[in-house]
């Protein structure tokens, strides 16, 4: 039984443990779950992730209750297929998908996972970053997926609907990114609720972004039906060998133009760092380069998420990570 102190990190620590427990068939016990957070223990999105992966791998679970600070997880056999999960709040759909995805890669048939909840959350992977950056990297290492965003969901009511198709993957390729290539296009996605259309919020998000970037932009503006009003702008810098992403969410009392400018400045910071992977995506890719048996990339900063993720991965998989400056190496 692998023992984990959950006070060393947040929900990412738990999700990585769940994913790798299902993949390696190694049980674990975690205590002090999310003790560093203001609202500690299992919240709705964490509980959904626990119950979802437990269903997929037939696990025996103790402590899978709302606000629980201790969990014991004994995995069984992974079974691919079609599954649907409802978080019940605006909790992050992408974090639930992130937990499930690794376990289904070795299955003989395609799996289809539907999740209902939030699609643009603070402290979580926004849905377009997940689709156009994270899943793009997974494709580079041999993982074929397709994400459909049927409906966007904002805080507090959520109601977003996403579906992820995961094809079987027999072998992962190593991801070694020393250079990102030449900057090509900047893809900008501006999304706002229908009731914000009169105020031209989506267009104004783009206007704010354009105050920093003007050239090689390919923009897409969407107004969508949602249960709660909201908006976001996602920008993706495509270098051919690499992609960098940044998303800024709408905030009450903040002008749309200022949100657009925030997105541009965040992306510019990633670009100027010369990193091959933005720091949001970096901690998500660690698990996959470990499963591939090795890999390397540079990132704009070494976050606590990255450090704690490395610790957890090394508990489950026989690999060793090394961080030199802002470059991460993984070897058997």
Catalytic residues: 305
Q: Going by C-beta distance under 8 Å and a sequence separation of 6 or more, which residues neighbour residue 150?
A: 161, 162, 163
Cβ neighbours, 10 Å, residue 132: 18
Q: At what angle do helices 304-316 and 279-291 cross, to 10 degrees?
A: 10
Are 154 and 90 in contact by the 8 Å Cβ rule? The answer is yes
- Residue 173 has what DSSP assignment? P
Are 250 and 201 in contact by the 8 Å Cβ rule? The answer is yes
Omega prior to 156 cis, within 30 of 0: yes
What does the alpha-carbon distance between residue 190 and residue 62 come to, in Å, rounded to a whole number?
42
What does the alpha-carbon distance between residue 209 and residue 204 come to, in Å, rounded to a whole number?
9
Q: What share of the chain is helix, strand, coil (3-state, %, to 5)?
A: 35, 30, 35
Are 100 and 52 in contact by the 8 Å Cβ rule? The answer is yes
Q: Going by C-beta distance under 8 Å and a sequence separation of 6 or more, which residues neighbour residue 198?
A: none
Are 210 and 268 in contact by the 8 Å Cβ rule? The answer is no
Largest alpha-carbon pair distance within the chain?
57
Are 306 and 275 in contact by the 8 Å Cβ rule? The answer is no
Q: Going by C-beta distance under 8 Å and a sequence separation of 6 or more, which residues neighbour residue 73?
A: 17, 18, 21, 27, 28, 29, 30, 50, 54, 59, 60, 61
């Amino acid at each position: 039984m692998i023992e984990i102190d959950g006070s060393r990190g947040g929900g990412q620590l738990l999700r990585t443990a769940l994913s790798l427990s299902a993949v390696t068939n190694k049980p674990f016990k975690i205590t002090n779950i999310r003790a560093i957070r203001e609202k500690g223990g299992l919240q709705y999105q964490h509980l959904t992730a626990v119950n979802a992966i437990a269903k997929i791998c037939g696990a025996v679970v103790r402590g899978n209750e709302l606000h629980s600070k201790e969990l014991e997880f004994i995995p069984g056999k992974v079974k691919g297929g079609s599954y649907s999960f409802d978080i019940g709040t605006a909790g992050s759909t992408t974090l639930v998908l992130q937990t499930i995805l690794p376990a289904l890669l070795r299955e003989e048939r395609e799996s289809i996972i539907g999740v209902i909840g939030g699609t643009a959350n603070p402290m979580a992977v926004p849905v377009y970053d997940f689709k156009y950056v994270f899943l793009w990297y997974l494709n580079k290492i041999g993982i074929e997926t397709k994400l459909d965003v049927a409906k966007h969901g904002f805080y507090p009511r959520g109601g977003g609907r996403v579906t992820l198709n995961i094809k079987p993957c027999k072998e992962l390729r190593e991801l070694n990114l020393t250079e990102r290539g030449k900057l090509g296009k900047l893809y900008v996605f501006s999304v706002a609720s229908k009731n914000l259309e009169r105020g031209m919020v989506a267009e104004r998000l783009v206007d704010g972004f354009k105050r920093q970037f003007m050239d090689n932009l390919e923009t897409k503006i969407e107004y969508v039906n949602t249960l709660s009003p909201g908006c976001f702008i996602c920008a993706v810098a495509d270098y051919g060998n690499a992609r960098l992403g940044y998303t800024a969410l709408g905030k009450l009392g903040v002008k749309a133009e200022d949100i657009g400018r925030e997105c541009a400045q965040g992306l510019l910071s990633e670009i100027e760092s010369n990193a091959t992977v933005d720091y949001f995506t970096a901690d998500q890719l660690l698990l996959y380069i470990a499963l591939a048996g090795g890999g390397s990339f540079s990132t704009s900063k070494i976050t606590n998420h990255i450090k704690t993720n490395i610790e957890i991965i090394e508990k489950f998989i026989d690999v060793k990570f090394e961080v030199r400056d802002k470059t991460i190496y993984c070897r058997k």
